[in-house]
Structure 1
Amino acid sequence: MQVNRSVASEARRAQILDATIAVVAEEGFARASFARIAERGGLSSTRLISYHFAGKDDLVAALVAHVVDGIGEHVGARVMAADTARGRLAAYVEGVISYADTHRAPMSALLQVAMAGAGGGAMDAPSDLSHLERILRAGQEAGEMRSFEVAVMASTIQRSVETVPFALQADPDLDCAAYARELVELFDRATRADEMADP
């Protein structure tokens, strides 16, 4: 019976998060009141939200964690499937951009939260670049990539992919596959060892 309650609780939390994402993405962070979220989620009362989340800050922190975890799962699977550092770098760039393209509401909600200065420590902390830095160092150690300052390159790559949700807001018809190909080519040329350069 406890398991059933746990499953039901997780389902309700997911329902509330989906409604929150929809309201924030479509109407902006300022409009995301519990009343509006309850209405969008088809909830009978805002008390259902308060039961699962301590307050708006807790709800927004859960939204941020939900979206960030989704990005990690989507991108991580692609990166793990590649068998070279150059392949993993390409998979990372393509993965982040494809997630932004296919999960526009969550990404828009994340941007709204960031622009509102909400989300607590999860939004205040700089992007975790350790995953990119590991890929780049492995590429250098394997001789696939040239010598360069890993921290600088990782930061540049991350900032480039983080701009895609903004680009999509400005141009919803943006060809994300072509955008990704250009960035993959750019950073492959910027990082690969001389002996791997095109003739």
Structure 2
Amino acid sequence: MPSHPVHGRTFTQDARRAQIVEATIETLAEIGYTKTSFTAICRHANLSSTGLITYHFTGKPQLLREVTRTIVEKAREARTRRIAQETTYRGKLNAYITSHFDFMSCYPAHARALTEIVELVRERRALGLDDVARSALSVESLVVLLEEGCRAGEFRIPDPPVMALAVQGAIDNVVRHHQLFSVADLSGRARELTDIFDRCTQPA
């Protein structure tokens, strides 16, 4: 069966791009950004030549942009589904927190690869990735959730943007600690965090 164009590419080309992206995620997670070369990615993807990568991606920055976009979208979709299952804002906040740990449990390579990319941008060791890193670090949706919860009377938060940064910062630090020290009870850490922020957002 012939391939048909999708956004200017064939299904076969889209499948190859997806294969390269997944191989890059696995490579970043396994050996880190510094050692991640097109040759290493080829080994993971079982590609015969690095030319198959450069055919689809002009360079490492473009490939990392697509990797970041792929991970962020996958995580956002999972988080949105999880939050939508809750009927209260307190439940939605808990779902927001636990969804990060659920994603890390289900997709550990994706979580580790994203951490590598974010750290790379923070240290200014890569150009052209600032916008995708901002997308990965954005707390805008959480701010909206907290503000709506305040209006509904479920939360009492003087400054929702600051609280959103506190929530996300706590999540990121627990994730980083887990990746460094392989904490066994990740679900327990998630429960502790949800309990902490449930208490500090209680209405008077």
**2:168 counterpart of 1:168:** no
Preserved CA contact (<8 Å) 2:157 2:163: no
Q: CA deviation at 1:164?
A: 3.0
Q: 1:124 to 1:151 in 2, by over 3 A?
A: closer
Q: 1:177 aligns with which of 181, 184, 187?
A: 187
Aligned-partner Cα distance in 2 for 1:155–1:177: 21
**2:44: which partner in 1?**
40
Aligned-partner Cα distance in 1 for 2:93–2:30: 32
**2:180 alignment partner AA:** A
**2:159 counterpart of 1:149:** yes
Preserved CA contact (<8 Å) 1:167 1:174: no
Preserved CA contact (<8 Å) 1:100 1:164: no
Preserved CA contact (<8 Å) 1:97 1:164: no
Aligned-partner Cα distance in 1 for 2:157–2:167: 16
Structure 2 matches for 1:67-106, cutoff 5 A?
A: 67-106=71-110
Q: 2:120 aligns with which of 88, 105, 116?
A: 116
**1:13: which partner in 2?**
17
**1:29: which partner in 2?**
33
**2:203: which partner in 1?**
193
**2:109 alignment partner AA:** A
**1:191 alignment partner AA:** T
Aligned-partner Cα distance in 1 for 2:58–2:175: 29
**1:2: which partner in 2?**
4
Aligned-partner Cα distance in 1 for 2:119–2:151: 39
Preserved CA contact (<8 Å) 2:177 2:183: no
Q: 1:45 to 1:147 in 2, by over 3 A?
A: closer
Q: CA deviation at 1:83?
A: 1.0
**2:129 alignment partner AA:** G
Q: CA deviation at 1:48?
A: 1.0
Aligned-partner Cα distance in 1 for 2:139–2:35: 32
**1:140 alignment partner AA:** C
Q: 1:126 to 1:69 in 2, by over 3 A?
A: closer
**2:168: which partner in 1?**
158
Q: CA deviation at 1:126?
A: 7.8
- Residues 41-82 of structure 1, C-alpha deviation per residue, up to 9 Å, x if partnerless? 101111111111121110011111111111101111001111
Preserved CA contact (<8 Å) 1:108 1:165: no
Using the aligned pairs only, state the percent identity: 33
Q: Secondary structure at the match of 1:75?
A: helix
Higher mean alpha-carbon deviation, 180-189 vs 101-110, is at: 101-110
Tell me the TM-score normalized by structure 1.
0.90
Q: CA deviation at 1:3?
A: 4.5
**2:194 alignment partner AA:** V
